[in-house]
Amino acid sequence: MKSEEYIIEILRFLYGENAGKVWGRLKAKIDQYRSEHPVLKKTQTPQQARQLDEKDIILITYGDQITERNRPPLQSLGEFLKTNLHDIVSTIHILPFYPYSSDDGFSVINYHQVDPKLGGWQDIAAIGASFNLMFDAVINHISRESFWYQSFLMGDERYQNFFICVDPSVDLSKVVRPRALPLLTPVETHDGQKYVWTTFSDDQIDLNYANPEVLLEIIDLMLYYTNRGARIIRLDAIAYLWKEIGTTCIHLPQTHAVVKLMRAVLDITAPDVLLITETNVPHEEIISYFGGIDFSNGSTDEAQMVYQFPLAPLVLNAFQMGNIERLVRWVDSLDAPAPFFTFFVSDK
């Protein structure tokens, strides 16, 4: 279990002299969560919590994958899963089931709601009664239709620093781009035209983690998802989380520090909840999100799992070509820094 001083040191790295104030508010959130969940007072440590292994099968699905007339899709999905897959699949990863405006759910309008077109939280809970649940935390950006962003546009003081505004004349040529779209999007605000940072699209406005208010809101969200039954939380597009002009803005030390902080908070509040980072990058960069290694107790200080995307296409290639050579060569090339590391293989 990470100490209070460990968390404060992370906050000092991120927020300098403001770390003390941020810690005071973060500690209040942690204390409140623990008081509302007294079962956590047991002696279970993160290392004693259940880990995944090769016997676990996780099904990834959209909430509306199965539909019936006059019935919420999540209810139809839940019945199908319970009837057909209860003894086969251990965990259900429902892709973003929140209200959204684009990108198949990855432009979230409200992090705390279930899309009414799919159903409600009671339907998520019903699935969670038979399976472990995996939620997406789409926290690099938020929809332009979200309350936070609309409040920013209207001049609400609280939200003026929730997003990243940059003069378009600034040299951003070092920034690594996942998509061939404009990095800055011009918008009309209460205070005139501004250019906001949009890594993925003009409908996905990047959040400003240099503002501790954003981090505290997202920590609240992580605890909310945990309270709603998440046993695995997927950190979507986490590599691009922190922006610093003059750098590549990918895999920055501050980004890793935020992941360490999330892990530390969850270790204290919900040690059975696992983090997985979604980073579609080369292997050496993927495994950096395990963080530091503690061989004494077989643990890391960032995510417990990281994605390995190549498996699915390589399996298809093996079937198509009738040859497993490429698949075997890739498997043999995987270098796990420690035997207790967990790679998550997926077609998403």
Which residues are annotated as catalytic?
236
How far is residue 265's CA from residue 271's CA, in Å, rounded to a whole number?
Answer: 9
In total, the chain counts a number of residues equal to: 348
The dihedral over CA atoms of 255, 258, 259, 265, expressed in degrees to the nearest 10, equals 180
Contact in structure between 78 and 126 (CB atoms under 8 Å): yes
Residue 305, classed as helix, strand or coil, is: strand
Two tokens, residue 316: 């298809």
Q: Which two tokens stand for residue 142?
A: 């938020």
Torsion of CA 275, 279, 283, 288, to 10 degrees: -50
d(CA 172, CA 175): 6
Alpha-carbon span 205 to 279, nearest angstrom: 19
Tell how far CA 321 is from the center of its chain: 35
Strand partners, 135: 233
Write down the residue that tokens 């997985």 correspond to: 276
Residue labelled with tokens 């378009």 = 168
Q: Of 20, 66, 43, which is closest to residue 212 (Cα–Cα)? A: 20
Q: How far apart are the two ends of the chain, measured CA to CA in Å?
A: 32
Distances (CA, A) of 173 to 168, 170, 182, 183, 249: 12, 9, 12, 10, 11
Reported for 4-10, long-range contacts at CB under 8 A and 24+ positions apart, including other chains, are 6/264, 7/261, 7/264, 7/265, 10/257, 10/260, 10/261, 10/264
